[in-house]
Amino acid sequence: MLQRINAHFINGSWRTVVAPEWFTLINPATEEAVSCVARADAAMVNEAIAAAYHAQDAWGRLDFTERGQYLQQIADYLTAHADELAQAISDELGCPLWFSKLVQVKDPIDALQKHVGYAASLQREQQWDDRLKVRREPVGVCGLITPWNYPLHQLIAKVAPALLAGCAVIVKPAEQTPRSAILLAMAAEAAGLPAGVFNLILGSGAEIGDILCQHPDVDCISFTGSTRVGRLIQRNAADSVKRVCLELGGKSAFIIGQTKRLAEAVQLGVEDVMLNSGQTCVALTRMLVPAERYEEACELAAGVAKQLKVGDPKAEDSFLGPVVNQQQYQSVLQYIELGLEEGARLIAGGTERPAGCSQGYYIAPTIFADVHNGMRIAREEIFGPVLCIIPYSDEDEALRLANDSPYGLSGRVWADDDAERERLALGIRAGLIFTNAAEWHNAAPFGGFKQSGYGRELGLAGVEEFLTLKSIVTEEQSHD
């Protein structure tokens, strides 16, 4: 019998839908139905907005440090339930359990802890001169809409800064990965957040998103997802002139410059794309390599891909699990077929099922060589384990190719020379650049250029997205 999830957190209590429409969750590793989720109706969404609206004033008056203490209690709860979170995310998303523990759970808890630390450095009010006082005030009620690929991380990247800034929130997670959001709501409840400050609604993104975007009592929408949906959110929020923060798609470039460590650079680049089965918005899906070392790099990349094990998410040696669902599976396979039709050279992977994976939405690590920037596989976000390798003649061409994209979310550069590495990093038009083997940093403001969106998450800049300024000007004092 399927598990039924009918749990929505509104105004400090758990609610159920009386006659729900059900959304079926499929285990991507087995293709078996495992649970059904009750979708909230419009009336319930409106109740959540009303609860947040009534909670907003009192929550916004608290000091940053008081709100930071609530975040610490939420972090403590999530830490105590880390294993349960990791298992839930691995089951729903299909990523290997080791990856779920390390990246899907440990990393967002670290991001949440950093927000606790930010509370001490934030000032509500500053005297700019003898006549001008400037206050930071919460932007107001926020609708937070998050995707399925890093479910807890994306929740924390929005919920933590919004709550710290003093905003009451309505959280709408992806339907495919609801359990981490439910555990986060349980953490908010255990922390004793005032009723209405944190509200969780499960259901259809189209229906709930439209209500949040159009409702006059919602002051801000923060969305992470596809560029296509981001455009719809902008349009729907326009009539009420809401603040909108968008973290959208990416087609990030990895420029490998002059280096004696080509094998190390290529391995990092291949593994970066294949982690989470390629379902990562910042994945380095275009590897740019000097023409004189191109064939060497292709051979190295194919070798790395063929050594990465695809298999059961529970197995400790699985590097890739399945992609999230059949729709994503079919979409990625169509892109692989498109790459072949466009004339790219397949050097690893392809459309055939990986060995030992007769069931599940498994796709082998796939690499295309002989790719140019005019191909769709080099321009569109595939969101699967597919890498394109592109040659370049000199540094200027490398930067031109890297920036010849509608996106600008992330990038990486690798070079032995400090000056070359700096030039390349500064030359890429993207919001987050890594150099050589640098790892993710939860204090780095994260967001995009161009069609990758606008606004920033994480770091103090992420908190500022949920704050607005009020200037108070006094009359000049008489010196008589």
Residues serving a catalytic function are 247, 281
Give the Cα separation of 122 and 164 in Å (integer): 10
Buried b (16+ CB within 10 A) or exposed e, 345-369: ebbbbbeeebeebeebbbbbbbbbb
* Nearest in space to 125 (alpha carbons), one of 109, 137, 140, 139: 137
Phi, psi dihedral angles at 85 (to 5 degrees) = -60, -45
Q: Are 348 and 301 in contact (CB under 8 A)?
A: yes
* Nearest in space to 171 (alpha carbons), one of 190, 196, 194, 193: 196
Give the Cα separation of 151 and 214 in Å (integer): 25
Give the Cα separation of 443 and 463 in Å (integer): 11
Give the Cα separation of 28 and 247 in Å (integer): 26
Concatenated DSSP letters of 94-105: ---HHHIIIIII
Q: Contacts from 74-78 at CB under 8 Å and sequence distance 24+?
A: 74/112, 74/184, 74/187, 74/188, 74/190, 74/191, 75/109, 75/112, 75/113, 75/116, 77/186, 77/187, 77/190, 77/191, 78/105, 78/108, 78/109, 78/112, 78/152, 78/183, 78/184, 78/187
Alpha-helix residue ranges (DSSP H) falling in 62-178: 64-80, 82-93, 97-99, 107-118, 151-165
Tokens (6 digits) for 463: 């908190």
Give the Cα separation of 95 and 424 in Å (integer): 33
Strand ranges of the sheet holding 253-256, from the earlier edge strand across to the other edge:
345-348, 366-369, 386-392, 286-290, 253-256, 410-414, 432-435
Tokens (6 digits) for 29: 């590793």
